[in-house]
Amino acid sequence: MTEEKRTTGSIIAETELYGAHNYHPKRVVISSAEGAVVTDPEGRRYYDMLSAYSALNFGHRHPEIVAAAKEQLDRVTLTSRAFHNELLGKFCKKLCELTGKECVLPMNTGAEAVETALKAARRWGVMEKGIADGEQEIICCDGNFHGRTVTVISMSTDETARKAFGPFTPGFRVVEYGKAAAIADAVTANTAAVILEPVQGEAGIIVPPEGYLKEVREICTRNNVLMIADEVQTGFARTGDMFACMHEGVTPDIYVLGKALGGGIMPVSAVVADRDVLGLFEPGSHGSTFGGNPLACAVALKAMEILVRDDYPATARRKGEKFVAALREIRNPEIVDIRGRGLLVGVEFSVPAAPYVERLIENGILAKETHERTVRFAPPVNISDAELDDALQRIKRALTR
């Protein structure tokens, strides 16, 4: 009996019937993909201008990363941390070299890495700063997006993310993003850390004022407070530097990393810091069955190799400048702002952006609105110049009134 051909409509219907509706995706099914181009079941081709929220900095199915995964699949994929594996040490060493830090704690998802960083900061606050256990405070910023766990949404100011999920985890002080003085005013003797995104992605590609990160760094140093940079979305060349904090020459005490670290194949995340922070963990105090597994390490090692070898930060800077310049040529009075850094770009409208996203899809461009009025663009860093030129022409058609 011949299997019935699956179509975009039938696939979406099945997903909506059996899956929880915690997402409302656009009505596009990606059935195959290579590089910056994806194809649906009917053969329609699109440029992926979202890159899985920056997890696909290398594009879809980068051949070298796929080869590294296939090779590791034939060896060993999972050991748990009950035993050693051959690649974890290499992975940690390479990530330390990239960040200039001394120690890595591997996890899987970005939210797990954020949780790990919060635990590390609270423990440091007690064991190093002398804060009474249970009194530690962490300063965060309004408009933040750090994940979906109960503790992480306890920091959120997005009521959609918080509704009916209480009670929330205490110990957070929320201040205005982009205003260093607000952080300085919020510091108390119990402050263990400040956590922020160098560029706020989910909030609508909000770029802080120049000098903000340097001021935050100085405030943290002066008050003996850890600076935590959530670079899950901005890290690994997305903004034109290896890490977005480097734009201002700032080194945080803790990097929270993920998304692109997995090369578009595996969920891989990590917390990276010096030993005076991560050395406070002892066996049994924290862990992850899949964290640091050999398959994840294999793809992350190859991804980091490509990042450095092919100078992805410089590529993102150059292509980002071209992207923004092309967007500024669009004549549309409903566009009120174009902002971003590197290949993380937002176009804000005076009206809801969803209709423009539909027009983009009709023109073969996959993008997504965020915070209702902003379209986020984040193409793969290795999109070819010819593909980028073609995509920009399609974007211009879609966004021109």
DSSP conformation letters of 115-164: HHHHHHHHHHHHHTS-PPTT--EEEEETT----SSHHHHTT---HHHHTT
Which residues is 339 bridged to in the sheet?
Answer: 346
Are 238 and 381 within 8 A, CB to CB?
yes
Residue type, 349: F
- How many Cβ atoms sit within 10 Å of the Cβ of residue 270? 26
259 is catalytic: yes
Which residues is 272 bridged to in the sheet?
Answer: 104, 255
Question: Would you call 317 helix, strand, or coil by DSSP?
Answer: helix
90 is catalytic: no
Residues in the chain, overall count: 401
For residue 191, what is the enclosing H or E element? strand 191-196
Q: Which of 259, 302, 319, 368 is catalytic?
A: 259
Q: Which of 145, 323, 349, 377 is catalytic?
A: 145
230 is catalytic: yes
Give the separation between CA 64 and CA 252, rounded to whole angstroms. 31
Q: Which of 48, 230, 241, 253 is catalytic?
A: 230
Give the separation between CA 325 and CA 10, rounded to whole angstroms. 40
* Chain-centre distance for alpha carbon 329: 28
Are 72 and 85 within 8 A, CB to CB?
no
> Hey, which residues are catalytic here?
145, 230, 259
